[in-house]
Amino acid sequence: MRREKLAKLQAEGRDPFAIVTWKQTHHSKEIKENFEALENKDVSVAGRVMSFRDIGKAAFIDLQDRDGRIQVYLNAEGLGDEAYAHIKTWDVGDIIGVEGYVFKTRRGEMSIHAEKMVLLTKALEPLPEKFHGLKDPEIRYRRRYLDLVMNPQVMDTFRKRTLIIKAIREYLDSREYIEVDTPILSTIASGAAARPFVTKSNALNLQLYLRIATELYLKRCIVGGMERVYDMGKNFRNEGIDSSHNPEFTMIELYQAYADYNDMMELCENMIAFAAEKATGSAKVMYQGTQIDFTPPWRRLTMTDSVKEYGGIDFSAVKTDAEAQALAKEKGLEHELKKKLKDCTKGDILNAAFEKYAEEHLIQPTFILDYPTDISPLTKQKPGDPTMTERFEAFVYAREIANAYSELNDPIVQLDRFLQQEREKELGDDEAYTLDEDFVSSLEVGMPPTGGMGIGIDRIIMFLTDAYSIRDVILFPTMKPNN
């Protein structure tokens, strides 16, 4: 039916697809916000026909543009008999241009009294139903364009996404950080515990990996003397998909020379509070019915203290791996451990106890400090305690949103840590860190003491837009094909 209408239009020499441009002087929202100034003035708008109420010798169209909707009133007096009859053949979903003057209907609806209307694009597929809209999550994600047309909240979320990302850039740029692009394709995917995607260069006849982190390249930039750098972009991890994981996701990593993890904590809480205010107008936001307050300073708690507080286990009294193993057995922690109990260090067991007892309680923004050395191969040890590192993770609503540390810059220790990881890999941990020899040699050139941090941008956006699933903040989430 719509195809027949299109064919007729083309036969009549008014093919909408032949039109190249339309002069848009106003958007819906600015007309509504400046109604008094614009009343009886001419405007030109464009957008999609969302509903068409034909009442005979007059009709009303709800026109939707980037910012919302505005009603268009049309009749034969304003447009001429022939044009009016023609416009009545248009459909919901069509994209049109309208010129006319601004006025208010009897019911008080701010509207445009049409004087000229042009069909700019014919929609061959009808839109979902106007009242119930589009709900099916599969169609919403697969055909996001329909979701954007039908669900204004979705448009709002993705506009906020842009505001948040801009705010983060603004925050760092104003503090003399340099934004760089590090490689997405490389022969070694390291810098995080994750399996990479594998691809191949035809020209080089070479197996390449998609990056799982930007860390090792950014630290090379610090070695080179950039002092403050960041890379905000996609990482790729070949892992499962759920409501907080997408195989490709946006991450920022930033590094600051002559700083440590305490400086990173301050940067983290201030930057996220800044982004929250820019995007939502407040550092306090509602997330899934719970108020989250990002106002600095956030709570600071060591991992050991968190396990003591929430699990009633005092690891500061545990001296050896054997004692820790006995404790793990007593508390039934074997289940939480990846390795066999006898291969576990005190650090592995502390981390397992943290995940079991403490993590779920971390609703308001909280920094968990001082991670075991065994699970932190790129991190500097704490002065006076080689089993622990100067590392923190930030938690909100029991989810990790940031990971930061005082960077390990001793090339000899770093090589040892990588070799330990290689051994883990041989023991069957296919997510252990891969040795990057060139990175180690960059440390031999000399990296100043440096603080670094990674923040999951999608997760920050989830909290600031009240999104339950990461798919609601990624325009085109990864999906299996369905035919």
Partner RNA sequence: GGGCUGCUAGCUCAGUAGGUAGAGCAACGCCCUUUUAAGGCGUGGGUCACAAGUUCGAAUCUUGUGCAGCUCACCA
Q: Which is nearer to RNA, 6 or 226 (CB)?
A: 6
Any contact of residue 76 with RNA (CB under 7 A)?
yes
Q: Which residues contact 430 (CB under 8 A, 6 or more apart)?
A: 195
- Which of 73, 101, 287, 397 is in the footprint of RNA by CB under 7 A? 73
Does residue 7 touch RNA according to CB under 7 A? Answer: no
CA distance readout (Å), 387 to 87, 261, 344, 469? 76, 17, 13, 36
Nearer to RNA (CB atom), residue 263 or residue 400: 400
What are the residues whose beta carbons fall under 8 Å from the beta carbon of 477, sequence distance 6 or more? 141, 246, 470, 471
Q: How far is the CB of 203 from RNA (least distance, A)?
A: 31
Core vs surface per residue 192-225: b (16+ CB within 10 A) or e: bbbebeeeeeeeeeeebbbbbbbbbbbbbbbbee
Q: Closest separation between CB of residue 178 and RNA, Å? A: 25
Nearest to 456 by CA among 274, 262, 232: 232
CB-CB contact of 303 with 379 (8 Å): no
Distance between CA atoms of 467 and 277, rounded to whole angstroms? 17
- Site residues (CB under 7 A) for RNA, limited to 112-141: 113, 126, 128-139, 141
Out of 25, 199, 243, 441, the residue judged to bind RNA by CB under 7 A: 243
Q: Using CB under 7 A as the criterion, what x/- string covers residues 340-379 for binding RNA?
A: ---------------x------------------------
Residue 56: CB atoms within 10 A of its CB come to 6
Tell me if 403 contacts RNA by CB under 7 A: yes
- Piece of 53-61, 172-180, 316-324, 406-414 that binds RNA (CB under 7 A): 53-61
CA-CA distance, 169 to 266, in Å (whole number)?
A: 17
Tell which one of 6, 180, 184, 193 touches RNA (CB under 7 A).
193
Give yes or no for residue 80 binding RNA (CB under 7 A): no
The tokens of 401 are what?
A: 């949103």
Handedness of CA 73, 79, 81, 83 (dihedral sign): negative
Is 67 a binding residue for RNA by CB under 7 A? The answer is no
Q: Which residue has the tokens 């991890």?
A: 237
400 binds RNA (CB under 7 A): yes
- Tokens at 258, concatenated: 């002559």
Based on the shown chain and the rule CB under 7 A, indicate whether residue 405 belongs to the binding site for RNA: no
| CB 260 to RNA: min, Å | 19
Is 188 a residue that touches RNA (CB under 7 A)?
no
What residues line the site for RNA (CB under 7 A)? 1, 51-58, 60, 62, 71, 73, 75-77, 91-92, 103, 105-109, 111, 113, 126, 128-139, 141, 192-194, 237, 239-240, 242-243, 245, 336, 338, 355, 393, 400, 403, 431, 456, 468-469, 471, 477, 479-482
